[in-house]
A and B are shown apart, each in its own frame.
Chain A
């Protein structure tokens, strides 16, 4: 699987993502600078976590207008896989590639802890390696992860099976509506999620639950 990770000024989980991708896929991902106007020919583009431009404006608002983002949008249109984790999810909502918004956490504090996620739709390229309804461990680390969408959008997401991951077993850390942790676009090839599967892929990290997430991608590309 060929992948690329976009680096914005202020990205800080870019290296984590590069390490996890290489570890699970066995292939070294490319690194793309936010000013670049071309993307390499890859199967997957990742917008990593961090605080792009300090997130002094709305999280992801400035990064969403970087030159590279129009290329990312084109990739998405062409059906390539696009993944946004944490700040990446925020950037995807800012560009309109995904609906809704990530508001400040309900208790107004940054939160870093392990939560439980439930995979509620295994029919996406990001979740095929999970059992339906499978509950898995995953860390979160964010200040603005409180997902919100208006009633119509929410109904579209829920009715269309576009909610892929939900916080499970009462571990919703941020007040997200319907316990939403990760969603896909209507075409199913763009996923945004707040939790960090890239930080739980090796036994030494305390578990490998996040591996299955990346294995889903490999599986999807093999069967595609």
Chain B
């Protein structure tokens, strides 16, 4: 048992991740040496994960407002108006470090945490996504991580009962020592029934809800704010264990409780558990909080104050209760088999006072702990973008059909079916487009559970190699690709959540990546009118001093006013015309072709012309909504050729394509990753009218050929059967995971 009177030594301070100047600040704030429990509380509140101390200055520059934004960053999740008094509530959050240490539980509790963030706001979760990044396929640990993380994501989400509608899975040696697990969740709530964490009213009961507190996850947030080294295996006990069954019960109980009018403020216990939730509720409401730890439901004996305050046991909530509703509220929780305990009260002292066994173990100023954590303006170097790489300096493939087959069958280009079939993509019965397309789509139900005509689209994107080569363009591109994926199903992009995964911010070049990526993200969000309404920053993603690629994942949400007016990426009808919108490919720097066929990673990232993105995307969305096109697919990794192949594979139909007359290099035209482009298909009879519409709008539009047959043919360049493309596309993942020869 750890006592509260452990001597505070420099080693102990360092072990809590607090820098000497931060400790000086603590002494200044409280005017005495902190107790052991207090040191733990400061460490939990002031670590990077909870305080955003390195990134806050830059996050403030992001656009967070818009006509539809009801709640921006700072709450458990963002809230966006979708009309008819309904809102979508969403956020994305990382669970990178825990997942590397213990992949199943790390990923599972990542999903659990983000679902809790959403239903804490009063929303019923209706969709989930995840963005996963692993080391090189042949790295010794990769297969173990893939199988554990995917099983963990599924294990939690499937049991909880939320459909997983989209995501990303990528491999790169830069993640060998530090995988990324970013989990997204979205829920629906009526606009007048949103719950916030700001405590209101003095002397009101603070109630502990959900599962009991154990020793799991003690110090997790501090662990997540440090680099990894050879002691990583010793950190396994800092990973929490998930219980999706309890979470599902907690969801139902919380929604019932909220409907009863008993909830004044509510906050889930995530990172730094009881400490963080209590301090945030008090600090936001300008109130003090008194806690009596003897009243906290525990599942282990002889837990110390330190352990209880820092435990990250899952499936717990803290709320401020309307006292007259206590009996009713408690009955709801008992019905669902959950704990319900008054553990403290709100005060007007602005102090955070924690008692244990009759003793005050912590007495701290709540505002300074919460709102006034240290903030750094860390030194940073403006990144120097990689130089342009001319297509002429990139080798042409000897065999174009083989190059295309290699791309659709590569580690990063192949089908993710092995992954997403382990996720329940259909539960709730509203999944209209499941993983494998540009964006996942669900139908929106009203609060009574009746269908509406509305739909929501979800996509998550980032191209880390672009971000490394040019963080500004890479940041823009992550937003643009997400916006494009939403537009490509016919949705109006509403808002986004960002999950910024970077290395050690104390290194000026890493800090420079963060600053420049945020700049690019901000520019794109302004130009594309897609504000950031929630997010998460994960720094110190380094092992032995090797940083991951800068990976600012963007999760976007789009609205379909009429779900019938949407399209997928699959070729639909024989004879449909195939056309490209946005011009031809020229840019091979940092492309999938360069990496997977030529075997090089070099050159500039493709530049992102935000005005052009907007213009082309708005045009395409208009076509889809007018019912003019039968299929649409955005052009991204692998360029035109890969997009054609994907449309052919998902539609089970070939196409006969002829490249337009032009003087560009063939490989750049087929595999170039120029931005702001889409493929569309439509009936041949409409071709002239559509071409006219495009030229009127000043949109580059070119007919390429027609859907049909069993082969994908590009005249004079390649011809390959759709069956063979599909085989290459589908085989990579199962063969890799089954240990057979690829």
A12-B427, A141-B427, A205-B429 given; A113·B421 CB < 8 A: yes
Residue pair B427, A16 in contact (C-beta under 8 Å):
yes
B61 close to chain A: CB less than 8 A? no
A166 close to chain B: CB less than 8 A? no
Residues in chain A near residue B332, CB distance under 8 A: none
Residues in chain B near residue A111, CB distance under 8 A: 421-422
Query: Can you sample 19 A-B contacts with CB below 8 Å?
Result: A9-B336, A13-B427, A15-B429, A18-B449, A51-B245, A54-B245, A109-B151, A110-B154, A110-B155, A110-B158, A110-B423, A112-B424, A112-B425, A139-B426, A141-B427, A143-B158, A198-B429, A205-B429, A206-B432
Shortest Cβ distance from residue B177 to the other chain A in the assembled complex, whole angstroms: 27
B244 close to chain A: CB less than 8 A? yes
Closest-by-CB residue of A relative to B443 is A204
Residues in chain A near residue B564, CB distance under 8 A: 204
Residues in chain A near residue B443, CB distance under 8 A: 204
B337 close to chain A: CB less than 8 A? yes
Q: Complex Cα distance A23/B249, Å?
A: 27
A2 close to chain B: CB less than 8 A? no
Residue pair B158, A141 in contact (C-beta under 8 Å):
yes
A61-105 toward B: CB 8 Å interface, digit per residue (1/0)?
A: 000000000000000000000000000000000000000000000
Q: Complex Cα distance A12/B424, Å?
A: 11
Closest-by-CB residue of A relative to B422 is A110
Q: Complex Cα distance A135/B221, Å?
A: 53
A209 close to chain B: CB less than 8 A? no
Residues in chain B near residue A199, CB distance under 8 A: 426-427, 429
Q: Complex Cα distance A109/B733, Å?
A: 15
Residues in chain A near residue B429, CB distance under 8 A: 13, 15-16, 19-20, 198-199, 205
Residue pair B449, A19 in contact (C-beta under 8 Å):
yes
B320-359 toward A: CB 8 Å interface, digit per residue (1/0)?
A: 0000000000000000110000000000000000000000
Closest-by-CB residue of A relative to B449 is A15
Q: Complex Cα distance A68/B422, Å?
A: 32
- Which residues of B (230-259) have their CB < 8 Å from a CB of A? 243-246, 248-249
Residue pair B449, A54 in contact (C-beta under 8 Å):
no
Pairs of residues from A and B, 9 with the lowest C-beta to C-beta distance, nearest first:
A12-B161, A54-B245, A16-B429, A51-B159, A141-B424, A112-B424, A110-B422, A199-B426, A10-B245
Residues in chain A near residue B249, CB distance under 8 A: 9-10
Residues in chain A near residue B244, CB distance under 8 A: 51, 54
A60 close to chain B: CB less than 8 A? no
A13-B427, A18-B449, A109-B151 given; A51·B422 CB < 8 A: no
Closest-by-CB residue of A relative to B124 is A15
A148 close to chain B: CB less than 8 A? no
A53 close to chain B: CB less than 8 A? yes
Shortest Cβ distance from residue B708 to the other chain A in the assembled complex, whole angstroms: 23
B559-600 toward A: CB 8 Å interface, digit per residue (1/0)?
A: 000011000000000000000000000000000000000000
Shortest Cβ distance from residue B81 to the other chain A in the assembled complex, whole angstroms: 24
Q: Complex Cα distance A20/B427, Å?
A: 13
Residues in chain A near residue B724, CB distance under 8 A: none
